[in-house]
Amino acid sequence: MELWYTEKQTDNFGITAKIKETLVTEKTEFQDLAIIDTEEFGRMLTLDGMVMTTVKDEFVYHEMVAHPALFTHPNPEHVLVVGGGDGGVIREVMKHPKVKKAVLVDIDGKVITYSKQFLPEIAGELDNPRVEVIVNDGYMHIHDHKNTYDVIMVDSTEPVGPAVELFTKGFYQGIYDALKEEGIFVAQTDNPWFKADLIRTVNRDVREIFPVVRNYIANIPTYPSGLWTFTMGSKKHDPLQVDETQIPELDTKYYSPRLHKAAFVLPKFVEDLVK
Amino acid sequence: MELWYTEKQTDNFGITAKIKETLVTEKTEFQDLAIIDTEEFGRMLTLDGMVMTTVKDEFVYHEMVAHPALFTHPNPEHVLVVGGGDGGVIREVMKHPKVKKAVLVDIDGKVITYSKQFLPEIAGELDNPRVEVIVNDGYMHIHDHKNTYDVIMVDSTEPVGPAVELFTKGFYQGIYDALKEEGIFVAQTDNPWFKADLIRTVNRDVREIFPVVRNYIANIPTYPSGLWTFTMGSKKHDPLQVDETQIPELDTKYYSPRLHKAAFVLPKFVEDLVK
């Protein structure tokens, strides 16, 4: 008997992946969590029936959340990751020697626990002494930490369930206030094929708060449409003004110094969404 | 009752799309052809069970086959499209006023006939007086037309069925000989997530024939992995030396003058495939 995981990415379209083994299924306090071992993408974490990460393609998302902002800020010493309990973004942040401390705040401790157990290649750096892991509401955390962080990364689920408040203007204002004077934030902002309205709304809101707003993209095969957008809001520094020749070649598989600016060049229909 | 089209893009992974209506299913002389009306992507052409094009996302592929090469060649008067019977690439080629004549050679006349009937928004320019449509083997055509074309575009299926010969070194040599002295060719070369070996092989072969070889990418949601590669071989002109400020803003939805060079900046794991 063959078992397949099928995710409806929209009402009318989805992906399907052959399963070797289901490792975890649990209704946590906040969401339905599953870890499935798939033939094509290896172990896969899903929340509320949506792929969060897979061992085969996780590097794209995690590198592209972390490095564009960290190589735009001249001295990113204090970093906050909101969400991201699987630890993938933290792993990338730890590749930056300038980072003195990274704080991870995920609302769902079960994501952290199961990721450490079943996705050690992703979650391994959560035990790095430069990392502090907090199980709490990210929205509350930023409102309790004014003028604290150099870079804030929002690694949320889609705006359903516990992540709804992470797509509000109040949250972006809170992030602005939690950032120091040269601060930068970045958020995953879904895909332009099925969620054009979301991207438009987020951009409008972020532009009302941050003087510099830029959008970039990456290809993630297991995410809806395969094309993912990220929105960066910055108080001062512009990622497009970075001298790429000064970016070191990290141990990455997607991001590179050459890609730093190119990732911000959007297909025309995406440009039109964020004008 | 709900009907869904499911394509196994690999043995272990696929996409699935809700169907409104099946318009055509036919075993032609060369392949299994179907045109399906889907809820999410509109009408969809499949050959041998693989999505060739859909009304919703076809613009990406067709623009990205046509424009990078046409804006690299200084005077692309004579253009050949091998395959591409749906007419999408021809539609984009017709946006270039310098093109005096475009020849389409598809081995399967049924693709042309059904595309004109059911996909008029894609196939409409096949009746343009600057276009000559030939039903024939593209491999034979190029070998019978030495020193004839300024730009040759290979819009083939994946290397199964009738397209196998379009991924051979002999074919690339034939293309070289069919091009004039400043000639450029471009081919779709599948995706780097599931077909890394193919991309490596094509690049090795093309590099042995053409002095300038460049690779670029685009996001196509209904193609495997959502990330598609294109390989360009050029006798003289380098797409990365083009002055982007001189590229006019065409009526496109994906390609833009700004994207012309950025599309050639590859994710690191793709760079590594074509080194």
Q: What confidence score (pLDDT) does residue A34 get?
A: 98
Q: Give CA–CA dist A83/A60, Å, rounded.
A: 17
| Residue A98 per-residue DSSP state | T
Q: DSSP for A14-46?
A: EEEEEEEEEEEEEE-SSSEEEEEEETTTEEEEE
- Give B136→chain A minimum CA distance, Å: 35
CB contact under 8 A, A40 and B15: no
Q: Identify the segments of chain A with pLDDT beneath 70.
A: none
Cα angle, residue A173 at apex, residues A139 and A77 outer, rounded to 5°: 75
Evaluate whether A3-54 and A58-273 have a shared fold: no
Q: Going by DSSP bridges, is the β-strand pair A32-38/B131-135 parallel, antiparallel, or unpaired?
A: unpaired
Phi, psi of A118 (to 5 degrees): -110, -15
Residues of B in contact with A253 (CB under 8 A): 267-269
Q: What confidence score (pLDDT) does residue B114 get?
A: 98
CB contact under 8 A, B267 and A60: yes
Q: What confidence score (pLDDT) does residue B162 get?
A: 72
Amino acid code (one letter) for B52: M
The domain limits of chain A are 3-54, 58-273
Catalytic residue among A155, A177, A205, A238: A155
Which residues pair with residue B131 across a beta bridge?
A: B102
Is B154 in contact with B167 (CB distance < 8 Å)? no
CATH architecture of A3-54: Roll (2.30)
CB contact under 8 A, A16 and B11: no
Active site residue A155: yes
From B59, which residue of chain A is nearest by alpha-carbon distance? A269
- Tell me which residue of A257, A181, A271, A173 sits closest to A229, measured CA to CA: A271
Residues of B in contact with A248 (CB under 8 A): none
Which stretches of chain B are assigned E, i.e. beta strand? Answer: 3-10, 13-27, 32-38, 42-47, 50-54, 78-83, 101-106, 131-135, 149-155, 179-188, 212-219, 227-234
B141 is in an annotated binding site: no
Q: What confidence score (pLDDT) does residue B153 get?
A: 98
Q: What confidence score (pLDDT) does residue B166 get?
A: 83
Helix (H, G, I), strand (E, B), or coil: what is residue A166?
helix
CB contact under 8 A, B267 and A219: yes
Residues of B in contact with A225 (CB under 8 A): 219, 221, 226
Cα angle, residue B131 at apex, residues B184 and B41 outer, rounded to 5°: 85
Phi, psi of A24 (to 5 degrees): -145, 135
Amino acid code (one letter) for B16: T
Mapped to the 3 state alphabet, what secondary structure does A47-90 carry?
A: ECCEEEEECCCHHHHHHHHHHHHHCCCCCCCEEEEEECCCCHHH
Q: Give CA–CA dist A72/B3, Å, rounded.
A: 48
Residues 6+ apart with CB under 8 A from B123: B86, B87, B88, B91, B112, B115, B116
- Give A111→chain B minimum CA distance, Å: 25
- Give B10→chain A minimum CA distance, Å: 8
User: What number is the ipTM of this complex?
Assistant: 0.96
A145 is in an annotated binding site: no
Q: What confidence score (pLDDT) does residue A74 get?
A: 97
Residues 6+ apart with CB under 8 A from B97: none
User: By CB neighbour count within 10 A (0-12 exposed, 13-18 middle, 19+ buried), where does A97 fall?
Assistant: exposed
Q: Which two three-digit tokens encode residue B130?
A: 């600057």
Q: Going by DSSP bridges, is the β-strand pair B227-234/B78-83 parallel, antiparallel, or unpaired?
A: unpaired
Question: pLDDT 10s per residue in chain B (275 long)?
Answer: 899 999 999 999 999 999 999 999 999 999 999 999 999 999 999 999 999 999 999 999 999 999 999 999 999 999 999 999 999 999 999 999 999 999 999 999 999 999 999 999 999 999 999 999 999 999 999 999 999 999 999 998 877 777 788 889 999 999 999 999 999 999 999 999 999 999 999 999 999 999 999 999 999 999 999 999 999 999 999 999 999 999 999 999 999 999 999 999 999 999 999 98
Which runs of consecutive H residues, i.e. helices, occur in chain A?
Answer: 58-70, 88-93, 109-118, 120-123, 138-143, 169-178, 196-207, 259-262, 268-273
Is A4 in contact with A20 (CB distance < 8 Å)? no
CB contact under 8 A, B13 and A12: no
Q: What confidence score (pLDDT) does residue A67 get?
A: 98
Phi, psi of A14 (to 5 degrees): -160, 180
From A16, which residue of chain B is nearest by alpha-carbon distance? B14
CB contact under 8 A, A13 and B15: yes
- Phi/psi class of residue B176: alpha, beta or left (left: φ > 0; alpha: ψ in -120 to 50)? alpha
- The CATH H-level superfamily of A58-273 is Vaccinia Virus protein VP39 (3.40.50.150)
Q: Does domain B58-241+250-273 have CATH number 3.40.190.10?
A: no
* Chain A interface residues (partner B, CB cutoff 8 A): 6, 10-18, 38-41, 56-57, 60, 193, 217-221, 225-227, 252-256, 258-259, 261-262, 265-269, 271
- Tell me which residue of B157, B150, B174 sits closest to B234, measured CA to CA: B150
Which residues pair with residue A152 across a beta bridge?
A: A80, A185
